[in-house]
Amino acid sequence: MSIRFDGRVAIVTGAGNGLGRAHAMGLAKLGAKVVVNDFGGARDGTGGSLSAADKVVEEIRQLGGIAIADGADVSNFEQVTMMVDRATAEWGSVDLMCANAGILRDKSFGKMEPADFAKVLDVHLTGTFNCCKAVWDGMRARNFGRIVLTTSSSGLYGNFGQSNYGAAKTGMIGLMNVLAEEGRKTDIRVNTISPTAATRMTEELLPPDALALLKPESITPPVLYLLSENAPTRTIMGAGAGSFAVIKLLESEGVNFDESEWSPDTIAAHFAEISDMAGARALEGAFQQTQKYVQQAATRLGIKV
């Protein structure tokens, strides 16, 4: 059966350009009613205008879709709540949330001002919390919700000059992990996309030939899948230039030592064994790590726990 969103109401933040625009257009083409949210600021978060969001709404309407524009600043919880209330009053619910809005204030860490670090976290991480929080109670009441957060390889793997952006984007993984667990009993599924695309935020970082391959539209298919009825939950997908992958955080099997060996010298002597990834696996929750360590200690001591 083909994926459709008929009868569903979606909010896409940062939808006036780039990835957000592509996601909003994709949802509308598949039947969703879409709130096209964009604060309309510059790449560094300054300024503000509804013109970009209005333009995307007009594009959607010309294709026969249904959409409204909203200029809420995602870092302002009151504005985000008003946006969600407006969509609910207009269409009855908010079923799908795609938290995509973001800014860049890149500088090497030595030159990074505290205000630039705080502002990027405020828009990306706090802004994503605001979006999730504003739709959470309604999704729980209706026993249905799909949320997609946006992380980045800059956080997952590191990128020079982006300590603020990388920290914010890696925070998405922790947020997803917890919300996915808390949302299970009411069928709220929470996933994360790690995109690489040609947007305002990457246009100065890549050569023209690479940018030509990295169309924003190449990111939208996995986003739509992660927002769909039969989506997984607690999944990170990477996407770019037509390539799609699943990203997992792995932990080595590790080694358990007797208390008499708890020293830095022991760690140094056995570090190759400790860091051997041959038996690595993705853990499914914080307590699973605790259980693993306790079981290893119990096994070494020959006791049952």
Q: E strands, the chain, where?
A: 9-12, 33-37, 66-70, 96-98, 145-150, 188-195, 236-240, 243-247
Residue 92, phi-psi category: left (phi > 0), alpha (psi -120 to 50), beta (remainder)? left
Beta-carbon contacts of 17 under 8 Å, excluding residues fewer than 6 positions away, are 38, 52, 199, 200
Strand order across the beta sheet in which 236-240 lies: 66-70, 33-37, 9-12, 96-98, 145-150, 188-195, 236-240, 243-247
H or E stretch covering 116: helix 114-121
Asked if 165 is an active-site residue, the reply is yes
For residue 216, the tally of other CB atoms under 10 A from its CB is 20
For residue 2, the tally of other CB atoms under 10 A from its CB is 4
| Alpha-carbon Rg for the chain in angstroms | 21
* DSSP calls for 99-112: --------B-GGG-
Report which DSSP code applies to 264. H
Query: Token match 């990306």: residue?
Result: 124
In the structure encoding, which two tokens stand for residue 200, read together? 């305002």
Query: Token match 């792995």: residue?
Result: 250
**Pairing verdict, β 243-247 and 96-98:** unpaired
Question: Residues 119, 121, 127, 130: what is their CA dihedral angle, to the nearest 10 degrees?
Answer: -120
Catalytic residue among 157, 165, 225, 293: 165
Query: Token match 């914080």: residue?
Result: 286
Q: What residues are labeled active site?
A: 165
